[in-house]
Amino acid sequence: MAVLNVNGKALDHNAEPDTPLLWVLREQLGLTGTKYGCGISQCGSCTVHVDGVATRSCGVPVSAVADKKIVTVEALAANGTLNKIQQAWVALDVPQCGYCQSGMVMAATALLAANPKPTDADIDAAMTNICRCGTYQQVREAIHAAAKA
Amino acid sequence: MTIHTSLGRRNFLVSSAAVAGGFSLGFHVPFLDDGEANAQAVKELNAWVVIHPDDKVVIRIARSEMGQGTLTGLCQLVAEELECDWNKVTWEYPTPGENLARNRVWKNFSTGGSRGIRESNQYVREGGAMAREMLIAAAASQWKVPAAECSVANGVITHKDKKLTYGAVAAAAAQLEPPKEVKLKDPKDWKIAGKPLKRLDTVDKVTGKQIYGMDYTMPGMLVATVRACPVIGGKLKSFDAAKAEKMPGVKKILAIDGNAVVVVADTYWHAQSALAAVTSEWDVGELGKVQQATINASLKEGLDATEAFVGNKAGDAKAAIAGAAKKVEATYNFPYQHHVTMEPMNATARYTADKCEVWCGTQNGEAALAAASEASGLPVGKCDVYKLLLGGGFGRRGRSDYVRQAVLVAKEMPGTPIKLIWSREEDMTHCQYHPITMAKLTGGLDAQGNLVGLQIRISGQSILASLLPQNLQNGMDPVVFQGLMQSGVEAAYGYELPNLLVDHAMRNPHITAGFWRGVNVNQNAVYMECFMDELAAAAGQDPLAFRLKYLKPKWAAVLKAACDKAGYGKPLPEGHFHGISQVMGYGSYVAGVAEVSVSPDGTLKIHKITAATNPGHVVNPAQIERQVAGSFVYGLSAALYGEITVKDGVVEQTNFDSYNVMRIDEMPQVETVLVPTHDFWGGVGEPTIAVAAPAVLNAIAKATGKRVRNLPLMNQDLKKGA
Ligand code: FES
Ligand code: FES
């Protein structure tokens, strides 16, 4: 049994140390908001915050984050209130299929925390997540909208 | 996990999922906490509409939601006729099994070809209108007044100073005979349809609550993962699981369908780790010798083959070209493409001796049901499919191969729910790919630069031959000619030319071909619209003016609308160039203008796209805008990077590192212009994809003087002098 600090709680799991964080979150802790898209740190669907930094959880063995604070998409809304990014996402109807959007929202939340007024170039550099439905235009608009909110 | 209660009719429809899974099917039902007890007795008004005593309106949706917004659009159409309060609208999927049991009351479940709205608008609106009439009749009878004296708005029926809400009369209305006929509203009078309303399925997608097939879970469920023969069409000779069997969490290792090894474990990670330790031997025969060069050579041979299926013909193109003052010829290619839905293929199945159930994302619930029946050996009446939202479809989830595999595994472990997940690598290498084709185009210009004859020879793969050979017409695949067809409401050719010949030499490699968002309109538009620019250049004429000489009115109008909006012909910033294209597909007329620049070192920048669409009727303009912008991402990803290649019979690309797609930094600004003529119903999920590549390629030709005829662009050097 090992313990992981996820969304402010100490949670037990019994995954082998080399198990990617993604699969521990999804299969041991039932946090399926974090998505599997590629497993090789390419697509960003699995983005979570590790000590506040947007991190692709498929590329991180669970043993490497044993003493870190992990936040997943499920914990972004505080007491039922969506965070600024989520609100902008809803206001601008960003998601299409939605499968990439947990990762998008996590990456955008981390971007805004580090850089409250990102330029287009900042967005290009930080938002390397793949969206096959092609929501990029709305993602950009929503980040700017959240920055202004 | 959120527990959404099951309600009345829905309880019947999705009981297995709701009860066994202990979670909702992902509907967004905002006001479920009240009224659960009385809801149990709620009877539908008809197949499409259920109204609860608390005024909640549940609209049944047969088509699948995969991001394209059909779910919201269909709800708008039903709600429009129903005259209900949009804020009280929620939705649910009936199951394909229910559809079958009720004599297909919901008609077609298939969701492809941008048909979701255009082909069901009539009957879903009738469903809404009939329910409205029944509600009015129930109120009128309670008040003992003529129904004709009652009015209705926003879910409230009024007669003089008396008012009743839909919820108050729904139970009585449900007892009434439905009207024989209803008159649908004139779209001019729409208040809910035609408006840029918000989607009904957004909130759960930003909080992580939305459950996709990948996330589905059931008590006692095991997780399986699969490795099929890397050569499509090859067989499994043998496998050695001795090492894998001893690995953590492994429950069973088996072969299915004679062509795949499956590991069943307690978790995906355990299953995947164990599968990596299974060694397998394959019987691939001659297919193992197929190289990309072999495939290309066979297509090349088809460009000049004497035998071909004729798809469109007018006058005598060959004679006209032979007698022309100037002859222009060019050969283009369009490689295999992969859909790469963000969510890899998966399905959950549970088999017992008298029932087979499947939970999955599918574009065709009824095909998934048929696959479950076939794989389980149980009659369809003993099977059902519970649809979940799709993490992307794009045509890929119209095929039920992953459903079949899940059921085959579940059948080996009766009573145990099995979630079968394909790794991204399995997904990338076992698809039904966008077919590979080439085209040779030959045009004849007279001395004044008029196009007197045009010949298009397509050589390459047929989707129907691969997936639906029973639909070939005397060996011919009519779908190959999408966008170049003589006439029809689907994908008709827009140019009026005196002498035309479009034909197809079918060449079918072993790689399975399938429907890929936009299908054959995509490459046919590249061939036709790029060649039109080549002809215009040879004639010394402007590409827009040249096209307008031949385009029929509806095609011309949408192209002009795009060009007007983009300021085509007006000065652009230094080094920027416009390229144009147009097509009719999926019932809609679309056109695009791309503004690009190419730096001296060959770096392409797509600055802006202006896109015009005439979809006939507009159900939700905001969603159309999103489909158009998304279509450019899909179409430009293919144009820039999309290429599946074959080595020793095996698909070489395995993941996003070898099959690149567009990201936000390459996303041009997309401006959408809607020019609806309100006289037909066209689709919007696909047609625009086809204009993306040719508009950009035409702009590149202007910027560099280089005509790119081979895709993807990443293989081309756009550097000056290269
Ligand atoms: S699943 Fe982790 S980056 Fe794609
Ligand atoms: S919304 Fe579908 S992949 Fe991004």
pLDDT value of position B442: 98
pLDDT value of position B720: 81
A114 with A137, same domain: the answer is: yes
A60 with A117, same domain: the answer is: no
A71 with A90, same domain: the answer is: no
Q: Is B319 on the interface with A (CB under 8 A)?
A: no
Chain B, nearest residue to A76 by Cα:
B207
How many whole angstroms separate alpha carbon B109 and alpha carbon B361? 13
Residue B176 three-state SS = coil
A95 CB within 6 A, ligand 2: yes
* Ligand 2: nearest atom to the Cα of A133: 2
Give residue-wise pLDDT tens across range B224-245.
999 999 999 999 999 999 999 9
Give residue-wise pLDDT tens across range B541-577.
999 999 999 999 999 999 999 999 999 999 999 999 9
Question: Which of B599, B571, B596 has its CA nearest to residue B581?
Answer: B596
A103 CB within 6 A, ligand 1: no
Give the ligand with the smallest distance to the CA of B390.
2
A 50-109 residues inside an 8 A Cβ radius of B:
72-74, 76-77, 82, 86, 89-90, 93-102, 105
Q: Is B431 on the interface with A (CB under 8 A)?
A: no
**Domain count along chain A:** 2
SS (H, E, C) B10-75: HHHHHHHHHHHHCCCCCCCCCCCCCCHHHHCCCCCCECCEEECCCCCEEEECCCCCCCCCHHHHHH
Question: Which of B435, B426, B436 has its CA nearest to residue B653?
Answer: B426
* Ligand 2: nearest atom to the Cα of B392: 2
A99 CB within 6 A, ligand 1: no
- Find the CATH number of the domain harbouring A23: 3.10.20.30
Interchain proximity B389–A90, CB inside 8 Å: no
Cα A38 to ligand 2 centre (Å): 14
pLDDT value of position B722: 73
CA atoms in the 13 A half-sphere facing the CB of B459: 20
Whether B2 has a pLDDT exceeding 80, the answer reads no
pLDDT value of position B33: 41
How many whole angstroms separate alpha carbon B550 and alpha carbon B109? 39
A45 CB within 6 A, ligand 1: yes
Calculate how close chain A gets to B685, using CA atoms only, in Å. 10
A71 with A123, same domain: the answer is: no
Give the ligand with the smallest distance to the CA of A138.
2
Question: What integer is the mean pLDDT of B307-332?
Answer: 98
A101 CB within 6 A, ligand 2: yes
Interchain proximity A36–B622, CB inside 8 Å: no
A41 CB within 6 A, ligand 1: yes
Token pair belonging to B200: 């009904």
Q: Is B224 on the interface with A (CB under 8 A)?
A: no
pLDDT value of position B425: 98
Give residue-wise pLDDT tens across range B51-102.
999 999 999 999 999 999 999 999 999 999 999 999 999 999 999 999 999 9
Cα B209 to ligand 1 centre (Å): 19
Judging contacts by C-beta atoms under 8 Å, the chain A residues touching residue B267 are 23, 27-28
Interchain proximity B670–A135, CB inside 8 Å: no
Residue B29 pLDDT grade (very low, low, confident, very high; cuts 50, 70, 90): very low
Give residue-wise pLDDT tens across range B136-169.
999 999 999 999 999 999 999 999 999 999 999 9
* Ligand 2: nearest atom to the Cα of B341: 3
Residue B11 pLDDT grade (very low, low, confident, very high; cuts 50, 70, 90): very low
A70 with A127, same domain: the answer is: no
Sign of the dihedral through C-alpha A61, A64, A65, A67: positive
Interchain proximity A34–B663, CB inside 8 Å: no
- Find the CATH number of the domain harbouring A130: 1.10.150.120
Calculate how close chain B gets to A141, using CA atoms only, in Å. 11
Answer with the one of A48, A75, A102 that is the final residue of a domain.
A75
From A47, A128, A133, A140, mutation site for ligand 2 pocket: most ligand atoms within 8 A of C-beta: A133
pLDDT value of position B1: 29
**What range does the domain containing A91 cover?**
84-148
Calculate how close chain B gets to A56, using CA atoms only, in Å. 14
Answer with the one of A75, A101, A132 that is the final residue of a domain.
A75
Token pair belonging to B622: 């905001």
Pairing type for strands B250-256 and B418-421 reads unpaired
Specify whether the CB–CB gap between A97 and B342 falls below 8 A. yes
Selected residue of A35, A97, A141 to mutate for chain B interface (largest B Cβ count, 10 A):
A97
Would you report the helix, strand and coil content of chain A in percent, each value rounded to 5?
40, 15, 45
A91 with A141, same domain: the answer is: yes
Whether A58 has a pLDDT exceeding 50, the answer reads yes
How many whole angstroms separate alpha carbon B213 and alpha carbon B362? 9
From A38, A60, A106, mutation site for ligand 1 pocket: most ligand atoms within 8 A of C-beta: A38
Q: Following DSSP, what letter does each residue of B495-524 receive, concatenated?
A: B--SSEEEEEEE---SSPB---TTTTHHHH
Residues 6+ apart with CB under 8 A from B377: B411
Residue A1 pLDDT grade (very low, low, confident, very high; cuts 50, 70, 90): confident
A36 CB within 6 A, ligand 1: yes
A69 with A17, same domain: the answer is: yes
Specify whether the CB–CB gap between B229 and B261 falls below 8 A. no
pLDDT value of position B645: 98
B67 CB within 6 A, ligand 2: yes
Residue B717 backbone dihedrals phi, psi, to 5 degrees: -100, 115
Give residue-wise pLDDT tens across range B95-143.
999 999 999 999 999 999 889 899 999 999 999 999 999 999 999 999 9
Residue B25 pLDDT grade (very low, low, confident, very high; cuts 50, 70, 90): very low
Residue B112 three-state SS = coil
Give residue-wise pLDDT tens across range B174-219.
999 999 999 999 999 999 999 999 999 999 999 999 999 999 999 9
Specify whether the CB–CB gap between B391 and B450 falls below 8 A. no
pLDDT value of position B471: 96
Q: Is B201 on the interface with A (CB under 8 A)?
A: yes
Whether B14 has a pLDDT exceeding 50, the answer reads no
> Over the range B559-591, which residues count as b (16 or more CB within 10 Å of their CB) and which as e?
bbbbbebbebeeebeeebbbbbbbbbbbbbbbb
List Cα–Cα distances, B79 to A144, B151, B194, in angstroms: 34, 16, 12
Nearest to B206 among A72, A97, A105 (CB): A105
Interchain proximity A42–B655, CB inside 8 Å: yes
Give residue-wise pLDDT tens across range B617-663.
999 999 999 999 999 999 999 999 999 999 999 999 999 999 999 99
pLDDT value of position B27: 34
How many whole angstroms separate alpha carbon B556 and alpha carbon B78? 33
Specify whether the CB–CB gap between B616 and B676 falls below 8 A. yes
Judging contacts by C-beta atoms under 8 Å, the chain B residues touching residue A32 are 208, 211, 214-215, 217
Q: Is A110 on the interface with B (CB under 8 A)?
A: no
Question: What integer is the mean pLDDT of A44-63?
Answer: 98
Pairing type for strands B418-421 and B309-314 reads unpaired
| Residue whose CA lies nearest to ligand 1 atom number 3 | A41
How many whole angstroms separate alpha carbon B664 and alpha carbon A130? 8
A89 with A127, same domain: the answer is: yes
ipTM of the complex: 0.98
Token pair belonging to A41: 């740190």
A135 CB within 6 A, ligand 2: yes
A111 with A129, same domain: the answer is: yes
Residue B344 host element (H or E): none
* Ligand 1: nearest atom to the Cα of A130: 4
Specify whether the CB–CB gap between B477 and B468 falls below 8 A. no
- Structural domains for chain B: 6-203 (3.30.365.10), 213-284+345-421 (3.30.365.10), 292-337+433-715 (3.30.365.10)
Rg (chain B; Cα; Å): 27
A9 with A66, same domain: the answer is: yes
Give the ligand with the smallest distance to the CA of A37.
1
From A42, A90, A100, mutation site for ligand 2 pocket: most ligand atoms within 8 A of C-beta: A100
Give residue-wise pLDDT tens across range A81-105.
999 999 999 999 999 999 999 999 9
A115 with A65, same domain: the answer is: no
Cα B338 to ligand 1 centre (Å): 18
Residue B322 pLDDT grade (very low, low, confident, very high; cuts 50, 70, 90): very high
Residue B28 pLDDT grade (very low, low, confident, very high; cuts 50, 70, 90): very low
List Cα–Cα distances, B388 to B26, B93, B95, B358, in angstroms: 7, 9, 11, 10
How many whole angstroms separate alpha carbon B468 and alpha carbon B472? 7
Calculate how close chain A gets to B638, using CA atoms only, in Å. 11
Question: Which of B356, B350, B398 has its CA nearest to residue B63?
Answer: B398
Give residue-wise pLDDT tens across range B388-425.
999 999 999 999 999 999 999 999 999 999 999 999 99
Give residue-wise pLDDT tens across range B452-498.
999 999 999 999 999 999 999 999 999 999 999 999 888 999 999 99
* Ligand 2: nearest atom to the Cα of A132: 3
Judging contacts by C-beta atoms under 8 Å, the chain B residues touching residue A45 are 342
Question: Which of B391, B390, B402 has its CA nearest to residue B348?
Answer: B402
A67 with A8, same domain: the answer is: yes
pLDDT value of position B26: 34
A131 CB within 6 A, ligand 2: yes
Specify whether the CB–CB gap between A112 and A143 falls below 8 A. yes
Global pTM value: 0.94
* Ligand 1: nearest atom to the Cα of A58: 2
From A93, A131, A136, A139, mutation site for ligand 2 pocket: most ligand atoms within 8 A of C-beta: A131
pLDDT value of position B633: 98
Calculate how close chain B gets to A67, using CA atoms only, in Å. 22
Give residue-wise pLDDT tens across range B38-54.
445 699 999 999 999 99
Question: What integer is the mean pLDDT of B16-20?
Answer: 33
Answer with the one of A52, A75, A98 that is the final residue of a domain.
A75
